[in-house]
Structure 1
């Protein structure tokens, strides 16, 4: 079962404005849309790394918005092998598709310590029914999420080890910059080498070798989890990276 709420419900707060700003990046919202979002009851809580927010097979009752930190979706095979299938960053909703699905088909866990705001799914269903602009913004959010997922399938299925890891580093850089989390080509990579391996289908040892090779080629510099992209054009070209799938021009 999911852990019980540890936070307290709250009325209109700056967190509502954060959600408004996030959805406004996906579409034009009017003042009535803003007011509808501010009427949502939120529950803020802090979660520790590895905490489950969604469990496969359970009926979802709430949808989380990431305020800080990172979460990830994962699937487990029958023998316990894990595949990380997506990463959520600050300013994103987790699992908007569960507004329409009766049962979760995957797990969501905290990648780092994170602050989230929970919203009752029934309340979100009501707001997307009554406010078309909000529904359109959430739909676009889900479509971009699906586009990123398609690219990850290509990454793990058709690219070699160096290209897989480099591609992910390029994506993190642009997504964090667009979210206002990073303003340069330097950022803290929120994943261990084991987690990176579970994302790109490599062993932790292989991931370490690839990171060293990218540094030796002068494409990146790293200090533990701190990544700095030294040669953006070189890393982009070496990683078969085209940001079209992020739809940044539509944000």
Structure 2
């Protein structure tokens, strides 16, 4: 988040911000504040919502295609992904979700899940009732706007992914994804992230980027040679982010990280 956005948000929410942000749901409130202006009253209302905690192991299904959801999980820790599967069994990962992300705002408005949602790593989830969320949002225009903006930003990321798969070569395709993931994690952490371990396997990267695992392996080796990434204990870590951004010709405009500065 830029300094101007941070100052603007702090002015709006007032001195009561810290107690809410330090609570169990603080990361969820920070996510909404990263793109929307919310009063201390709105933040306190979110923090007061009843929820349950649920831990899930990697690859566990959080939501299945065709299911009618009654809950909205929010990631407190770990990573998850949306996927679509073809009739022949081929998988396409269509979204990555990070700590702070709500996983199913769309079920506030749509009755049936049109994709699968799975844990990428071990995740801890805060589970909210959709009925409770509806009651919370209905009389609060700023919260309703925050929900809409969150949905719109995810759609914007989806359009960028479509461009990534359709028009970028393998090297810039992978570099672009890594730049995005780094940018999103820094935004929610509100600090610089130097060493970041990518939570995706080569097979998962292949299913996300429309490449084969062999092609992914060759592309990672090329990025290693530039210093943009490195492998530690068979896991990929980001190295020189500036080099990564140059390779990807990365622009973060589609992430809409300055939305909260709009009055």
Establish whether TM, by shorter chain, passes 0.5: yes
Distance 2:186 2:30 in 1: 16
Q: More relative contact order in 1 or in 2 (CA 8 Å, sep 6+)?
A: 2
Q: Out of 138-147 and 110-119, give the one that drifted further.
A: 138-147
Residues in 2 aligned to 1:122 and 1:38: alpha-carbon distance in whole angstroms: 16
Secondary structure of 2:36's counterpart equals: coil
1:248 aligns to what?
A: 257
Q: Would the aligned equivalents of 1:161 and 1:210 in 2 still touch at CA under 8 Å?
A: yes
SS of the residue corresponding to residue 112 of structure 1 reads: coil
The answer to whether structure 1 residue 171 and structure 2 residue 171 are counterparts is no
1:162 aligns with 2:162: no
Query: Structure 1: which 5+ runs fail to align?
Result: 1-11
Structure 2 unaligned regions, length at least 5: 1-19
Q: Which has the higher strand share?
A: 1
Q: CA deviation at 1:181?
A: 8.2
Q: Do 1:66 and 1:93's aligned partners in 2 also have CA atoms closer than 8 Å?
A: yes
Q: Is contact 1:186–1:228 with CA below 8 Å preserved after alignment?
A: yes
Check if 1:21 corresponds to 2:30: yes
Aligned length: 239
Residue equivalent to 2:65:
56
**Residues 233, 22 of structure 1: CA spacing in aligned structure 2 closer, same or farther, 3 A cutoff?**
closer
Tell me how large the CA RMSD over aligned residues is.
1.8
2:156 paired residue among 117, 131, 147: 147
**Structure 1 moving runs of 4+ over 4 Å:** none
Aligned-partner SS, 2:230: strand
d(CA) in 1 for partners of 2:83, 2:48 = 32
Q: Within the alignment, does 1:127 sit opposite 2:136 as a pair? A: yes
Of 32, 36, 40, which aligns to 2:49? 40
Partner of 2:239: 229
Q: Distance in 1 between matches of 2:198 and 2:112?
A: 31
Q: TM-score scaled to structure 2, two decimals?
A: 0.85
TM-score if structure 1 supplies the norm length? Answer: 0.89
- Cα distance, 1:241 vs structure 2: 1.6
Q: Show the counterpart of 2:121.
A: 112
2:80 to 65, 71, 76: 71
> Could you tell me whether the CA contact under 8 Å between 1:18 and 1:91 is conserved in 2?
yes
CA contact (8 A) 1:48 1:110 kept: yes
